[in-house]
Structure 1
Amino acid sequence: MSKHCGGVVALLFLIKLCYNECCPELCQCFSAATVICSDDRMKVLPVNISTQVKELIVVASGVTHVNGSSFRENLKLNKLVILNCLLKVVSSNAFDQLTELRELEISGNSHLFTFEMETFNKLAHLTRLLLNNNMISVLYNGIFDCLQRLETLKLRGNGLSYLPSLLFQNLYQLQELDLSFNHIGSLSADIFHNNSVLRVFTMQGNMISYLPVAIFAHLNNLEELNFQSNHIMILNPEAFPPSLRKLVLKKNRLVQLSPVGSQKLQHLLYLDLSQNSLSELPTDFFQNLISLKNLDLSENQIVLLHSTVFKGLFNLKTINLQRNNLSLLEGNLFKDQQVMEKLYLSMNNLRSLPFGFFDYLDFQCIVQLHGNPWHCDCDIQYFLDWLRYNHRNVDDFSKVYCNEPEFIKGHSLVSLDKEMLVCSKNSSSELEGSAADIAQSVTKIPSNDYSTIQCSFQEFNDATSIRCKVTKCTSLKFQAVFENADGNKSECVVSNEWPAPTGCLNGTL
């Protein structure tokens, strides 16, 4: 080590030593501006703090009370944090000496149930107030009235069940409000009457069942709303302002959507309606969401999607439809989603996909398709060809299994040969003919009485198929030699071999 570097290290050590010599007992001081105390033996806040200190952070201490004598005069704290302590009481004059405070956090104190009315009256410069994960059950009208510069207020994880209608009336600069994980059952229509600059409102994990029509009417700067895990059953189309960019309604009780529910939301980028009880979507519900990039409809009960439901959504990059009851999709469903990057269709009831279904999508779009009961007959040829060519874009492509017919059930779709995709007499191509014609065209192929393979020969609409029933676990090899009309055998030989079907064990089914 050079003498210069050694001198710097020594100087830093001396500075730290000086800080620690002046540092309160049971605390650490790594700079003149910051004091960190974390010791369960500490029962009261340190009073011998230098006037140079700007930040006091007390974590996991035994402090139970904060009052007017907890802080010395002329203290110029900008930030005070009391986190995960045994705090029980914060007196009305506790912060009267801290007139320069900009940020206050009192969180994680499981014995703290309330604040007195005048507690925050002297904190006129406060911009951030975090009161998370306490046991606060009551907030009185007027408790925040002196905090007219407050920009962020967080009350997550408390025991609040009711909010007075004038609680936030003087918070003119409030931009972010978090009331998540309480027990709030309703919001008054005028609760945000004076909060015109509010940008983010989070209400996750409460008991809201209804949103008043005009509740956000004055919030022309509101960009993000999160009502995840509430009890909302009806979505009021007039409740949301046109400025909204992100709307989360995941895990509510929505059964249906209003046909005009999105007329004003032309700037919305993110919409989460997952984990509700939606079975059908109005054809024009998303029509005006021209900016939408991310749409989550997963874990609903959607059975049908009209071909025009996503019409005009040219900016969509992600559509999540997994874990629904979809059994049929229109070929032009994603005609306007040519910039889509992720499409999730897994865990539905899809048996096949129409010809040309993927042709509108970008060739780099990531797709999820596993967990569907694919019917692997001749009608799935387009899907099989697309899957083989684009398998790098398919998540878990080897888990895209056949569910029918029985002889290839459980086989990965990409492992099939084209010759295995034979349409049975119930397939769409054969339904064009009558049942009688089909029955008459079937000819049984003679076999040994004790044979484990029984086959029949069938001709219909210039197509020929051979269906075989395997009565014992065995591999199956098919080989055909074609004979011309003049009796001469053709050199064309079709040969293929299938392994024993899944479910075989020790030679038995």
Structure 2
Amino acid sequence: MSKLWCALLLVLTQLHRGRGCPGPCQCFSPAKVVCADEAMTALPLNISAQARELIVVASGVTHLDGRSFREDLRLSKLVLLNGQLRSVSGDAFERLRELRELEISGNPLLALREPAFASLANLTTLMLNHNNIGALAARIFEALQKLERLQLKGNGLLSLPGRPFHRLPNLQELDLSFNQIDSLPADVFQNNSLLRALSLQANMIPQLPEGIFSHLDLLEELNLRGNRIRELSADVFPHSLRKLILKSNHLAQLHPSLFHKLLLVTHLDLSQNQLSGVPANLFQNLISLKKLDLSENRITTLPGTVFKGLFGVKAIHLQKNNLSSLEEDLLKDQHGLEQLYLSMNRLRRVPHGFFDDLDYRCLVQLHGNPWRCDCGIQYLSEWIRDNLRNVEDVTQVYCHAPEFIRGHSLVSVDEERLVCGKNSSSSDTNSTGIAVDGDGGVHCSIRDFKGQTTIQCKLTKCTSVKFQALFEFGDGSDSERVVSKEWPAPAGCANGTTMAESQFTPWPPWG
């Protein structure tokens, strides 16, 4: 900032202070006062009667009572943030009857007396986050019938007394995340029919009582991340949900009809659970789904119809599972997919045509799989080469087998080397052994796969290999044509015991 601007700011500050702004505060408008002073042990009483917002940050104020505010003060917003506030008496806000928004967050506040909010009948927003309150009085919020937004994050709450939200009929947002709640009464939200967003993230909840959300017909967002939920009943979730987060729980299996009522849900997060599989029709009614996250589970296989009918889905995350194979028609309906994450699984190949229905802009993750780079991966190799921009970390898509190209990036491997060896189970492969004279430690076989003939030789001793091929057509012509190529001994050979394996495709295709 230039010296001119600094000087102008200083002048403006002094002007505002000259109009009755308290010393430790800044008053850049008559209606808004901001105070930040660790030495301030009491709220300033000489605040202008025009002030409507008072924001106090990092102050030394430790206690609030009925004398903390002037009688003629007409605040609509009060914020006490990251200070030293330890106690609030029952009459602390008695003179602030026009208050609509109150935040007390980041203070060592251990308790709130039950009548503390009794005079705040006009309050619509109350935020009490990260104060270590520990426990709530049963009727602490009873007078706040106009309250629409309530946050109680990070207070170490162990339980909820009775029905603390029963007299909050206008409540639309409730955040109870980052506490230690280990049980929920079945009727805890019974009188909160206008609730639209509910967060119970990072608690210790093991199960959801039957009917706990049955009265929440307008609930759109439900966050249950980071609890200990092991099972869910089929009708536990309200049909109004648009975003459901079940990440990082202990779910090992899901009821086939668990999500059948959720026609409006657009985001479903089931990541970081213990799922080994999902029912074939689990997602069949999720016609509005945009993002599905199944990552970091233990899924080994997926039914070919599991994503059937999900025409609008934009992202499917399957990374960090145990997938060893994929059904050919798994993505048949996903023409608009923008993200497909398959990294960190156990995939060795994908079915021919697997990616053909994807949008040309779809971003795909494939790294971290033990790809077998033989004839069965030719489709994937060609698709990657044609869609390099669509594959994230494409150079990290490594071959795990066969041994002679292990560790090579798939895009760097010549397609002529993607051939099937003696362990191929393909019915299209014919194999014949070749006798090799002498004791040079070379054992070869010749194979034909879909018109391409391959010589594979296994070396049992450290030696160089020279290959010569004589081509002769059925009519006896061209019998003198010879192709010759020599391979040096494998790197690292020091004695006659090193084992190596090489595959030669001297003239693909030939026969």
TM-score (norm 2): 0.90
Structure 1 residues 207, 9: closer, same or farther in 2, change over 3 A?
Answer: closer
What's 2:502 paired with? none
Question: Does 1:401 find its partner at 2:389?
Answer: no
For 1:277 and 1:190, how far apart are their aligned partners in 2? 29
In structure 2, the partner of 1:69 is 67
Pairing 1:252–2:249 present: yes
Deviation (angstroms), 1:20: 1.6
Post-superposition offset of 1:472? 8.0
Question: Could you tell me whether the CA contact under 8 Å between 2:279 and 2:306 is conserved in 1?
Answer: yes
Alignment of 1:86-97 (within 5 A): 86-97=84-95
Indicate yes or no: 2:480 matched with 1:482: no
Indicate how the Cα distance of structure 1 residues 245 and 506 shifts in structure 2: closer, same or farther if over 3 A, else same. farther
Question: What is the CA distance between 1:164 and its match in structure 2?
Answer: 2.1
Runs of 4+ in 1 over 6 A off after TM superposition: 8-13, 471-479, 494-501, 505-509
SS in 2 for 1:76: coil
2:456 counterpart of 1:458: no
Q: Matched residues in 1 for 2:488 and 2:25: separation? A: 74
- 1:205: which partner in 2? 202
Partner of 2:34: 36
- 1:136-182 Cα shifts (integer Å, max 9, x gaps): 11111221111111111000001111112321111111111000010
Shift of 1:505: 9.8
**1:153/1:174 contact within 8 Å kept:** yes
Q: Is the 8 A contact 1:129 1:150 kept in 2?
A: yes
DSSP 3-state at the match of 1:80: strand
Give the direction of change, closer, same or farther, for the CA distance of 1:299–1:476 in structure 2 (3 Å limit): farther
Equivalenced residues, count:
491
CA contact (8 A) 2:429 2:447 kept: no
Q: CA deviation at 1:31?
A: 1.8
**Structure 2 segments unaligned to the other structure (5+ residues):** 500-511
Any conservation in 1 of the 2:134–2:156 contact (CA below 8 Å)?
yes
**2-structure distance, mates of 1:31, 1:203:** 38
Query: 2:17·2:23 contact (CA, 8 Å) conserved in 1?
Result: no
Provide the aligned C-alpha RMSD in A: 2.7
Match of 1:442 in 2: 433
Contact kept, 8 Å, 1:276 with 1:300, in 2: the verdict is yes
* 1:19 and 2:16 are equivalent in the alignment: yes
- Is the CA contact 2:429–2:448 (under 8 Å) kept in the aligned structure 1? no
C-alpha separation between the residues in 2 aligned to 1:88 and 1:295?
Answer: 44
Are the aligned partners of 1:197 and 1:222 in contact in 2 as well (CA < 8 Å)?
A: yes
* Equivalent in the alignment of 1:314: 311
Find the counterpart in structure 2 of residue 187 from structure 1.
184
Question: Which residue identity is paired with 1:137?
Answer: G
Distance in 2 (CA, whole Å) between partners of 1:496 and 1:421 is 20
Helix, strand or coil at the partner of 2:180: coil
Post-superposition shift, 1:290? 1.0
Q: Distance in 2 between matches of 1:75 and 1:429?
A: 85
Which of 113, 117, 128 is residue 114 of structure 2 equivalent to?
117
Structure 1 residue runs of 5 or longer lacking an equivalent are: 1-5
What SS does the aligned partner of 1:29 have?
strand
Q: SS where residue 380 of structure 1 aligns? A: helix
Report the equivalent of 2:361.
Answer: 364
- Report the equivalent of 2:456: 467
Partner of 2:125 in structure 1?
Answer: 128
Q: Report deviation, 1:409.
A: 0.2
The CA deviation at 1:25 is 2.2
CA distance in 2, matches of 1:188, 1:173: 20
CA distance in structure 2 between the partners assigned to 1:460 and 1:375 by the alignment: 19
Deviates more, 1:133-142 or 1:28-37: 28-37
Alpha-carbon offset, residue 186 of structure 1: 1.2
Q: Sequence identity, in percent?
A: 54
Contact kept in structure 2, 1:343 and 1:365, CA below 8 Å: yes
Shift of 1:419: 1.7
- Asked if the contact 1:484/1:490 (under 8 Å) is kept, the reply is no
Corresponding residue SS for 1:118: helix
Describe the shift of the 1:416–1:382 C-alpha distance in structure 2 as closer, same or farther (beyond 3 A).
same
Worse-matched range after superposition: 424-433 or 380-389: 424-433
Partner of 2:49 in structure 1?
A: 51
Contact 1:322 1:346 in 2 (8 A): yes
Task: Supply the distance in 1 between the matched residues of 2:489 and 2:340 (Cα, whole angstroms).
Answer: 33
Alpha-carbon distance in structure 1 between the residues aligned to 2:30 and 2:342:
57
The one-letter amino acid paired with 1:19 is: H
Are the counterparts in 2 of residues 16 and 31 from structure 1 also a CA contact under 8 Å? no
Please say if residues 99 and 123 of structure 2, whose CA atoms lie closer than 8 Å, have aligned partners that are also in contact: yes
Q: 2:269 aligns with which of 272, 288, 298?
A: 272
Whole-angstrom distance in 1 between the partners of 2:142 and 2:45: 29
Deviation at 1:482, TM superposition (A): 3.0
